Chains A and B, each alone.
Chain A
């Protein structure tokens, strides 16, 4: 059972934006304590003199959403999720490199 409705416009988040801790917590579904711990671990770097004024580049949102999911879904703690996300990113980088090299050596066509 399906009915068509009007056309909605999607708004891209992160076009050079800076986001506050409150916004990150909402978008990544992590609590502010975890956010401060992640900054302390150096996974993300804020601008702003005090934690109350902290802002982060919106480009950190994808990795922080993964952190949030790993914590919620797998029950890992903040430092475990930070380690996992760095390992996952490094794995993706290596996989991309492998695919590029494969294309270089594979048979034409």
Chain B
């Protein structure tokens, strides 16, 4: 695994006071918080910052981390020392049973999580030094904690339902007494109709209980990825549909794509650009299902050929149409 320089991540000196650490953390947390940030890789950066602060804000963890020495550089290959954690009051304590942390993938999408007090989504470096199973792991409690992770889902997958592979990471004790973070994959079915921010419960997939109690649950928070054509608002979907001027003026039956497949839709006579039509129940499934809104966009044919020019000329002479009729002076040149 790779060494992580927590001081560098927070942008502070190794001698930084608790207040300086807190200020640095708060500033970076505001900048990269996934709920507020527009920065690229915000979630990844936020996780790093959170992990660094999780260690450095705790005097014991910080002292243990500092004992690794200041010669290490971020990214260097690293193994925890065999006597890791000794010399601290909990040193030599029995490692805790495996804890799991979530990292969700559907296709190219990855998830993280937002657990402030746990190691979900934190690096292997963190898990092996400070995670469950390490001497710094949480003390035994009845029943396991819930775990939380984010999962990115395509709009089509949200509509039809999907199967996604999650990688759950769990530190395990090896025969020589050292810890190893093992990853195991689980396949999860996600039912149709999941909306932005909705929770998916995986019962019993959270933290294992230390004492034979009930394991915690794993909650996946769904995030729907932007779509090329459709825009999502709750369960409703909006599509912008280009139409020809004669389709808008005379009315027409047009084929409209929806997530459930194309449907025929009647464009009313005298429709205008920007007008919205509703296809009831064609949004995300649910009780009740969402609707699909179709926003018309009148697209003018180019007047490049002599025939097109002649037609436009005929409209000019025949229609007596002044789009600026409401302007002072009636907009005439």
A61–B197 Cα distance when bound, in Å, is 8
Which residues of the other chain, A, contact B207 by a CB distance below 8 angstroms?
Answer: none
Chain B's nearest CB lies how many Å from the CB of A2?
5
A105–B263 Cα distance when bound, in Å, is 25
**A14 and B188 in contact (CB under 8 A), knowing A73-B29, A73-B50, A75-B26?**
no
What is the size category of the interface that chain B forms with chain A? 35 or more
Chain A's nearest CB lies how many Å from the CB of B119?
15
Chain A's nearest CB lies how many Å from the CB of B215?
13
Say yes or no: B188 contacts A62, CB within 8 Å. no
Number of interface residues of A (CB under 8 A): 38
Residue on A nearest B288 in the bound complex, by CB: A16
A8: contacting residue among B188, B199, B233, CB under 8 A: B188
B315 within 8 A of A: no
B24 within 8 A of A: no
B190 within 8 A of A: yes
A3–B188 Cα distance when bound, in Å, is 15
Q: Which of B36, B194, B200 has the most CB of A within 10 A?
A: B36
A65–B221 Cα distance when bound, in Å, is 10
A27–B156 Cα distance when bound, in Å, is 26
B205 within 8 A of A: yes
Say yes or no: B238 contacts A13, CB within 8 Å. no
Say yes or no: A10 contacts B201, CB within 8 Å. yes
B202 within 8 A of A: yes
Say yes or no: A10 contacts B196, CB within 8 Å. no
Which residues of the other chain, B, contact A96 by a CB distance below 8 angstroms?
Answer: 231, 233
Q: Mark B183-209, 1 if CB is under 8 A from A, else 0.
A: 111111111011011111111010000
B295 within 8 A of A: yes
**A9 and B50 in contact (CB under 8 A), knowing A69-B114, A75-B26, A100-B240?**
no
Say yes or no: B191 contacts A2, CB within 8 Å. no
Say yes or no: B297 contacts A12, CB within 8 Å. no
Say yes or no: B29 contacts A74, CB within 8 Å. yes
A11–B159 Cα distance when bound, in Å, is 15
Q: Mark A8-29, 1 if CB is under 8 A from B, else 0.
A: 1111111110000000001101
Which residues of the other chain, B, contact A13 by a CB distance below 8 angstroms?
Answer: 198-201
A92–B128 Cα distance when bound, in Å, is 39
A9–B148 Cα distance when bound, in Å, is 16
**A62 and B198 in contact (CB under 8 A), knowing A6-B186, A10-B188, A103-B295?**
yes
**A2 and B183 in contact (CB under 8 A), knowing A66-B35, A73-B116, A108-B242?**
yes
Say yes or no: B240 contacts A10, CB within 8 Å. no
A10–B162 Cα distance when bound, in Å, is 10
Residue on A nearest B199 in the bound complex, by CB: A13
B30 within 8 A of A: yes
B51 within 8 A of A: no
Say yes or no: B203 contacts A11, CB within 8 Å. yes
A63–B198 Cα distance when bound, in Å, is 10
Chain A's nearest CB lies how many Å from the CB of B166?
8
B220 within 8 A of A: yes
B311 within 8 A of A: no
A34 within 8 A of B: no
Chain A's nearest CB lies how many Å from the CB of B115?
9
A12–B272 Cα distance when bound, in Å, is 40
Chain B's nearest CB lies how many Å from the CB of A76?
10
Which residues of the other chain, A, contact B201 by a CB distance below 8 angstroms?
Answer: 10-11, 13
Chain A's nearest CB lies how many Å from the CB of B164?
8
Q: Which residues of A contact B (CB under 8 A)?
A: 1-16, 26-27, 29, 61-63, 65-66, 69-70, 72-75, 84, 88, 96, 99-100, 103-104, 108
A-B contact pairs, 18 of them (CB 8 A): A1-B182, A2-B184, A3-B184, A3-B185, A8-B205, A10-B188, A11-B202, A12-B199, A13-B199, A15-B287, A27-B219, A61-B198, A62-B221, A65-B221, A88-B36, A99-B231, A103-B240, A104-B297
